Structure 1
């Protein structure tokens, strides 16, 4: 962690670099499953946001994006390409506020952004800062000043390579969500979060607080019923008043309890701010060779804060402040989100059983990588084990 504001965020001008991108090996975010996330979670959710809400976005000339895009800006490249192909964006631009951590990523991002700014649908006010995301823990940080110059955002995309569950990171997420909740009224926006969920080196204080979130639904009979139906181990843990750490030796149960507790934390944040929410998409895959279960989760939430008058505590203006968050199908938000979690897409299974989709993701990833200077002649060799498994399974059918 950086120790002061100056080292947390470096305000450097965007400029083109002369060296071509050089990388020694493919990274996890170059895998086809990440392209599935870009297309089916981030892009399709963004497109649906504008398709379903033409009124609230009618005056928006730019879609404001905040994220952790990495130096190559692959996500920005893909989203702006898709925006250019979609009639629903009506020549809108993408205003990017990205943050990267290392000087090398900053240099690469500057070069890539200079190229992307040549596109007509990339807002010239786009910027990439070199910061720690955790700088948002500090209310007076330069990153907060930069955020307030751009925010509120229509799409917040926190794509963490590792876990979000360190205390400083959780506080930063909390403050960013609180700012968004307070700044946007009667207009939906997207919150995308990718994080590792496993039992390795989990922060003990964070685990204790997740226990509190988890047990907050103990008195909610319908939510408990849905847990019993879809997450029996979580239901058992709550019923027996167990805490998360007691299941550390059982990877699958620990992951499910952690998962439900964390999502309930997000639910409670929305409810306490009178914010309506949906879990639009949920996917999982395995990133650790040592893991026996999927350990990386990718979520897309849609939030919308409606105007809800506060109750008049004097009683002079009666019948104010009533608010029911039940959805049109009669389900409470907690019930619905538990059902959506139970339907989380397993990307490893999906792509291993769908050769056409896998090859489509491979080709799209190659195009993105070529666009930022990669020689992708060996990309199929890199993916060879996956393709061989597919070929073998098809030959046995």
Structure 2
């Protein structure tokens, strides 16, 4: 369903009507087959389940999708195969920051949008706006006007960052990822009752994470340990922060190694998303899905430095009784208690962190690599890349990763 084969018909460069288009041969990190692994096994898999859960085909409603698609719109192209297979329209809204005067990237994005608009299951109101994610918090910005004010909510939000969402100091007065993501999460919670998906991909290597943000996560986890014994016991049992790092409900940061540091950030991000959605009504609980990670830097550090998070989010109805005492039945009195829901979600975060999948290790299996390469190649072909050059580039990188893993004794 999402292997990319459908892209070979009706979405390739042969259909472009802008004249002769040269095939592209410059490749970026997000073009690697391991990114297709994330698209297939995390983004598309969960989106497929959500489409069924929301009964979008039966309701004849488009899947509302918000992302940072880049000029190639690869994530949109990949998700389209899922929607087309289910005969559900896809309405995509994107943000893409393009440097002023970059005519090549601007034209590439326009061609990509035009290609997608020609497809049967693309909603014609789909579009990509040239602005940065951080501008969501800037009044009257392109991002705020087109992302927040024009849409009541989204079915899927996919924030795929090249940098770290944790790079700024806490409560920085400058526009940053914290404020933008918090605004998006609260926009969803305040305006939506149906289930929805939230994805965020971020760098987690220590030199790209602000020390103040790391300390906030440590403090936040310790506060949870003080009130939630089940979470503390689970962390001790699974040793996700390393051995002997937890004592009397406190984290000894001096004993945290690189993998434990990554796990602590992952748990902290999961808790932060959950807190943003449940901190005030209307509340939505967020169950962390399968967690994936891989290495951007192939150095001496065994820890993954890019993590891809997924959350299935669900509205928790407010319980209400008539303060005047006239109505006896009340409303939503059998609804799930927010405190209980938060406790379950916290445990799910710890379980997910403890079982995260290292994509590089999994794709060291040549069969898995070939499967993802085939799907990724179809996707790249649809975006007007030279297939022969791409396959050579991808195979060469695969060989380097396997050698690095072998030298580290990881795979």
Q: TM-score, normalised by structure 2?
A: 0.80
Q: Deviations over 1:2-49 (max 9, x none)?
A: xxxxxxxxxxxxx98657366453211111110011111111111111
Q: Describe the shift of the 1:313–1:252 C-alpha distance in structure 2 as closer, same or farther (beyond 3 A).
A: farther
Structure 1 unpaired stretches of 5+ = 1-14
Specify which of 288, 313, 316 is matched with residue 306 of structure 1: 316
Aligned residue in 1 for 2:77: 77
Q: Describe the shift of the 1:317–1:237 C-alpha distance in structure 2 as closer, same or farther (beyond 3 A).
A: farther
Specify which of 262, 282, 288 is matched with residue 279 of structure 1: 288
SS at match of 1:77: helix
Aligned residue in 1 for 2:98: 102
Aligned residue in 2 for 1:223: 231
Q: Distance in 2 between matches of 1:43 and 1:240?
A: 38
Q: Describe the shift of the 1:306–1:218 C-alpha distance in structure 2 as closer, same or farther (beyond 3 A).
A: closer
Aligned residue in 1 for 2:130: 130
Structure 1 residue 260 corresponds to structure 2 residue 273: no
* Segment drifting more, 251-260 vs 35-44: 251-260
Aligned residue in 2 for 1:196: 203
Q: CA deviation at 1:331?
A: 7.2
Aligned residue in 1 for 2:9: none
Aligned residue in 2 for 1:378: 389
SS at match of 2:50: helix
Structure 1 residue 170 corresponds to structure 2 residue 211: no
Aligned residue in 2 for 1:12: none
Aligned residue in 1 for 2:361: 349
Q: Matched residue pairs, number? A: 368
Q: Distance in 2 between matches of 1:349 and 1:243?
A: 29
Q: CA RMSD in A?
A: 3.1
Q: Distance in 2 between matches of 1:315 and 1:199?
A: 56
CA contact (8 A) 2:167 2:208 kept: no
Q: CA deviation at 1:113?
A: 0.7
CA contact (8 A) 1:326 1:333 kept: no
Aligned residue in 2 for 1:93: 89
CA contact (8 A) 1:191 1:300 kept: yes
Q: Distance in 2 between matches of 1:184 and 1:238?
A: 41
Aligned residue in 1 for 2:173: none
Q: Distance in 1 between matches of 2:57 and 2:81?
A: 20
Structure 2 unpaired stretches of 5+ = 1-15, 169-175, 407-411
Q: Describe the shift of the 1:227–1:311 C-alpha distance in structure 2 as closer, same or farther (beyond 3 A).
A: farther
CA contact (8 A) 1:64 1:151 kept: no
Q: Distance in 2 between matches of 1:41 and 1:203?
A: 27
Q: Describe the shift of the 1:271–1:315 C-alpha distance in structure 2 as closer, same or farther (beyond 3 A).
A: farther
Q: Deviations over 1:102-121 (max 9, x none)?
A: 14443321110101111011
Q: Describe the shift of the 1:149–1:30 C-alpha distance in structure 2 as closer, same or farther (beyond 3 A).
A: same
SS at match of 1:149: coil
SS at match of 2:289: strand
CA contact (8 A) 2:25 2:386 kept: no
1:15-94, aligned counterparts within 5 Å? 20=21, 23-54=24-55, 58-59=58-59, 61-86=61-86, 91-94=87-90
* Segment drifting more, 114-123 vs 270-279: 270-279
SS at match of 2:207: coil
Specify which of 324, 327, 337 is matched with residue 324 of structure 1: 337
Q: CA deviation at 1:268?
A: 1.7
Q: Distance in 2 between matches of 1:296 and 1:134?
A: 20
Q: CA deviation at 1:362?
A: 0.5
SS at match of 2:95: strand
Structure 1 residue 364 corresponds to structure 2 residue 360: no
Q: TM-score, normalised by structure 1?
A: 0.83
Q: Distance in 2 between matches of 1:59 and 1:73?
A: 27
